[in-house]
Amino acid sequence: MSDLYAAYGSNLSHAQMRQRCPGAEPAGGLSLPGWRLVLRRYARIEPDPAATCPVGLWRVTPAHLAVLDRHEGVPQVYERRRLALPDGRAAWIYLERVDRPGPPAPGYVERLRHGYRDFGFDPAALEAALARGG
């Protein structure tokens, strides 16, 4: 049984996800309306009716979600929520509960850039988030 997980940060990186969740499969990407990518120490998304945020979709199992929950620090640092996608499907997404000021580490930024390339995203949203606060 598989579910969709929507990644917007370092879990866009195919190499990182292969390490964290062997067997998870990329399932395409889309733009999530009403959300804006923000970079502090780590990537987060915040509601913004005028924005869109690229997300990479992964097919994951309950075991993968348990691993991701541990990596993301659920429930203290992130919460995992179901989110309606613009194409009518739903996906799990992690929303940060704790504001961790930046800037992000250079290696983290490089993983984000790799993830954007892995999914074929225009890097404009990432570069704008870096310019605003990363």
- pLDDT by residue (tens digit) across 98-110? 888 879 999 999 9
Looking at residue 53, what is its pLDDT? 95
% of the chain at pLDDT higher than 70: 99
d(CA 6, CA 59): 9
> For residue 118, what pLDDT band results from cuts at 50, 70 and 90?
very high
89-100 tens-digit pLDDT? 999 999 998 888
Asked whether residue 7 is marked as a ligand-binding residue, the answer is yes
Q: Is 115 annotated as a binding residue?
A: no
Give the pTM.
0.93
133 is in an annotated binding site: no
Residues near 25 by Cβ (< 8 Å), separated by ≥ 6?
58, 59
Is 32:47 a contact under the CB 8 Å cutoff? no
The verdict on whether residue 13 carries a ligand-binding annotation is no
The mean per-residue pLDDT over the stretch 65-87 comes to 94
Over the stretch 1-48, which tens digit does the pLDDT of each residue have?
689 999 999 999 999 999 999 999 999 999 999 999 999 999 999 999
Instruction: Tell me if residue 46 falls in helix, strand or coil.
Output: strand
Q: Is 131 annotated as a binding residue?
A: no
Given this model, what pLDDT does residue 101 score?
82
Q: What structural domains does the chain harbor?
A: 3-133 (3.10.490.10)
